[in-house]
Amino acid sequence: MIAFILRRLLQSTLVMLAVALVSFGLFRYIGDPIHNMVGQEATLAEREALRERLGLNDAVPVQFARFVGNALRGEFGISYRMQRPVADVIAERLPATLELALISGTAALVLGIALGVYTALRREGWLSHLIMSASLIGVSLPTFLIGILLIYVFAVELKMLPAFGRGEVVQLGGWSTGLLTASGVKSLILPSITLGLYQLTLIMRLVRAEMLEVLRTDYIKFARARGLSDRAVHFRHALKNTLLPVITIAGLQIGSIIAFAIITETVFQWPGVGLLFITAIQFVDIPVMAAYLVLIALIFVVINLIVDLLYFAVDPRLRAQRPGRGH
Amino acid sequence: MTTRTELHAEPPRASLLARLLDSDLFYSFTRSPVTVVAAIVTLVYITAALCAPLISPQNPFDPATLNLLEGFTPPMQPNEFTSKVFWLGTDAQGRDIFSAILYGSRVSLLVGFAAVGFAAVLGIGLGLLSGYVGGWVDAFIMRVADVQLSFPAILIALLIFGVFKGIVPPAMQDRVAIYVLIVAIGLSDWVQYARTVRSSTMAEKNKEYVQAARVIGVPAPLILVRHILPNVMGPVLVIATIGLALAIILESTLSFLGVGVPPTQPSLGTLIRVGQDFLFSGEWWIVMFPGAALLILALSVNLLGDWLRDALNPRLRG
Amino acid sequence: MSQRPLAATGAHVHSSPAAEPPLLSVRKLRIEFPGRRGTLVAIDDVSFDVARGEILGMVGESGAGKSLTGAAIIGLLEPPGRIAGGEILLHGEPIHSLPPAAMREIRGRRIAMIFQDPLTSLNPLFTIGQQLTETILAHLDIGLQAARRRALDLLTEVGIPAPEQRIDHYPHQFSGGMRQRVVIALALCAAPELIIADEPTTALDVSVQAQIIALLRRLCREHRTAVILVTHDMGVIAETADRVAVMYAGRLAEIGPVREVVQHPRHPYTRGLMGSIPVLGADVHRLVQIDGAMPRLNAIPTGCAFHPRCKDAFERCRLERPDLMAAGPTRAACWLYPPSPNPEPTP
Contact between C209 and C201 (Cβ < 8 Å): yes
- Cα–Cα distances in angstroms (integers) from residue B29 to residues A124, A152, A292, B5, B235, in the given order: 20, 37, 46, 27, 17
- Cα–Cα distances in angstroms (integers) from residue C109 to residues C74, C96, C151, in the given order: 11, 16, 15
- The nearest CA of chain B is from the CA of A327 a distance in Å of 34
Domain at B32-57+96-316: CATH code: 1.10.3720.10
**Cross-chain residue pair B272–A144, CB shorter than 8 Å:** yes
pLDDT in tens, A79-134: 877 888 888 899 889 999 999 998 998 899 999 999 999 999 988 889 998 998 88
Residue C49: Cβ-neighbour burial (10 angstroms; 0-12, 13-18, 19+): buried
Q: Which long-range contacts (CB under 8 A, 24 or more apart) does C89-97 make?
A: C89/C21, C89/C24, C89/C25, C89/C26, C89/C27, C90/C23, C90/C24, C90/C25, C90/C194, C91/C21, C91/C23, C92/C21, C92/C25, C96/C29, C96/C72
Residue A75: Cβ-neighbour burial (10 angstroms; 0-12, 13-18, 19+): middle
Chain A: list its partners (3+ Cβ pairs within 8 Å): B, C
User: Residues of B near A (CB-CB distance < 8 A)?
Assistant: 147, 150-152, 154-155, 158-159, 161-163, 165-167, 245, 249, 252-253, 256-259, 269, 272, 276, 279-280, 282, 284, 287-288, 291, 294-295, 298-299, 301-303, 306, 316, 318
Is the Cβ of A317 closer than 8 Å to some Cβ of chain C?
yes
Chain C: list its partners (3+ Cβ pairs within 8 Å): A
Phi, psi of A31 (to 5 degrees): 65, -175
B283: region left, alpha or beta (phi > 0 left; psi from -120 to 50 alpha): beta
In this complex, the residue of B151, B252, B279 whose CB is nearest that of residue A152 is: B279
pLDDT at position B95: 81
In this complex, the residue of C100, C123, C189 whose CB is nearest that of residue A241 is: C123
Interface contacts A/B by beta carbons within 8 Å: 117
Q: Return the higher-pLDDT residue of B8 and A144.
A: A144
Phi, psi of A87 (to 5 degrees): -60, -40
pLDDT exceeds 60 at position A273: yes
Low-confidence ranges of chain C (pLDDT < 50): 1-17, 284, 343, 346-347
CA-based nearest residue in chain A for residue B155: A259
Is the Cβ of A232 closer than 8 Å to some Cβ of chain C?
yes
Contact between A291 and A300 (Cβ < 8 Å): no
CA-based nearest residue in chain A for residue C121: A219
**Ordered strands of the C194-198 beta sheet:** C111-114, C194-198, C226-230, C55-59, C243-248, C251-257, C330-332, C325-327
pLDDT at position B3: 39
Amino acid letter at B236? V
Gyration radius of chain C's alpha carbons: 21
pLDDT at position B44: 92
pLDDT at position B293: 92
Question: A220: which chain C residues are within 8 Å (Cβ-Cβ)?
Answer: 123
Percent of chain A with pLDDT over 70: 94
- Cα–Cα distances in angstroms (integers) from residue B245 to residues B37, B52, B240, B241, in the given order: 16, 21, 9, 7
pLDDT in tens, C246-281: 988 888 888 989 888 888 888 888 888 777 665 555
**Cross-chain residue pair C107–A227, CB shorter than 8 Å:** yes
B11 in helix, strand or coil? coil
Question: A299: which chain B residues are within 8 Å (Cβ-Cβ)?
Answer: none
Give the DSSP H/E element, type plus range, for residue C93. strand C93-94
The interface predicted TM-score of the complex, written ipTM, equals 0.81
Question: B173: which chain A residues are within 8 Å (Cβ-Cβ)?
Answer: none
**Cross-chain residue pair A226–C121, CB shorter than 8 Å:** no
Q: Which of A115-119, A162-166, A314-318, B12-16 has the lowest mean pLDDT?
A: B12-16
In this complex, the residue of A226, A315, A316 whose CB is nearest that of residue C108 is: A226
**Cross-chain residue pair A218–C138, CB shorter than 8 Å:** no
Gyration radius of chain B's alpha carbons: 24
Question: A241: which chain C residues are within 8 Å (Cβ-Cβ)?
Answer: 123-125
pLDDT in tens, A36-86: 666 666 777 877 887 777 777 777 888 888 888 888 888 888 887 788 888
Is the Cβ of C122 closer than 8 Å to some Cβ of chain A?
yes
Q: Which residue of C67, C73, C109, C125 is the best one to mutate when testing the A interface, meaning the one whose CB has the most A CBs within 10 A?
A: C125
pLDDT tens digit at each of 318 positions of chain B: 333 333 344 444 556 667 666 677 777 787 788 889 999 999 999 998 888 888 888 787 777 777 777 777 788 777 777 777 777 878 777 788 888 889 889 989 999 999 999 999 999 999 999 988 888 999 889 888 887 877 788 888 888 888 887 788 877 878 888 888 899 899 888 998 999 889 888 888 878 888 888 888 888 778 888 878 887 888 888 899 989 999 999 999 988 888 878 877 888 888 888 888 888 887 888 888 999 999 999 999 999 988 888 787 654 433
- The nearest CA of chain A is from the CA of C116 a distance in Å of 9
**Cross-chain residue pair A218–C123, CB shorter than 8 Å:** no
Give the DSSP H/E element, type plus range, for residue C251. strand C251-257
C102-118 burial code (b ≥16 CB/10 A, e <16): ebbebbbbbbbbbbbbb
Phi, psi of A117 (to 5 degrees): -65, -45
Is the Cβ of C100 closer than 8 Å to some Cβ of chain A?
yes
C38: region left, alpha or beta (phi > 0 left; psi from -120 to 50 alpha): left
Residues 117-176 of A with CB under 8 A from C: none
Question: A218: which chain C residues are within 8 Å (Cβ-Cβ)?
Answer: 115, 117, 120-121
pLDDT at position A112: 92
Phi, psi of B262 (to 5 degrees): -70, 155
**Cross-chain residue pair A315–C120, CB shorter than 8 Å:** no
In this complex, the residue of C100, C107, C123 whose CB is nearest that of residue A237 is: C123
**Domains in chain A: ranges and CATH:** 93-284 (1.10.3720.10)
In this complex, the residue of A225, A240, A320 whose CB is nearest that of residue C125 is: A240
Question: C117: which chain A residues are within 8 Å (Cβ-Cβ)?
Answer: 218
The C-alpha angle with vertex B59 and arms to B53 and B65, in degrees rounded to 5, equals 145
Confidence of residue A284 (pLDDT cuts 50, 70, 90): confident
- The nearest CA of chain A is from the CA of C252 a distance in Å of 25
Is the Cβ of A315 closer than 8 Å to some Cβ of chain C?
yes
**Cross-chain residue pair A278–B259, CB shorter than 8 Å:** yes
What does the domain layout of chain B look like in residue ranges? 32-57+96-316
